[in-house]
Amino acid sequence: MVAAMPLTFQAVRAQMIVSTILPAPRVNTDSPANGSKENNALEDRLARADRMVATRMGEQNIPGYSLIVMKDGRVVFKKSYGFADLAGQRPATSNTIFGLASLTKTFTALTLLTLVDRGLIDLDSPVGKYMDGLSPPYQALTIRQLDSMTGGRKYTIHFAKETLRWMPSGL
């Protein structure tokens, strides 16, 4: 079982700030980008984000943080900072499960309702309609049940690890 220090509100705020300073520059992926102006701009933004995360962690006493930046479906930056377990001095990694509590609910609801508005999902359809390979207890749950936490399933680290199977490979 992975014991993780919860991220603080300041860490999430830092993550939001990173998102605002990293608007994706146009990088020509069809030709070698080494030394190109666009690649240099991306590298500069990533270096600024790296420094900012390290600085904010010190200023705001944030124990651990992981940052992954993806562009065009590929990882362009991946780094973990601080500790997953402060008492045990276990370093944070890209596999650390941070307890975010309810901070992601707003973003999840906005994303789900955007998909509903576009006709891409139905809140009352089972999750199994959209995702293959779920364990039987989760196949029949509806998206509405998952979003409103009324599906009757207890949240466990096992559930979190099963959910991580759906992340893009290479993270």
Catalytic residue, from 102, 135, 148, 169: name it: 102
Tokens of 83: 């500790």
φ, ψ for residue 151 (rounded to 5)?
A: -80, -10
Do the beta carbons of residue 80 and residue 96 sit within 8 Å?
A: yes
Our answer to whether residue 102 is catalytic in this structure is: yes
Using alpha carbons, list the distances in angstroms from residue 3 to 85, 91, 122: 7, 11, 35
Q: In a 10 Å sphere around its CB, with 0-12 CB exposed, 13-18 middle and 19+ buried, how is residue 75 labelled?
A: middle
Helix axes 9-21, 37-60, angle to 10 degrees: 160
Q: Could you list the active site residues?
A: 102
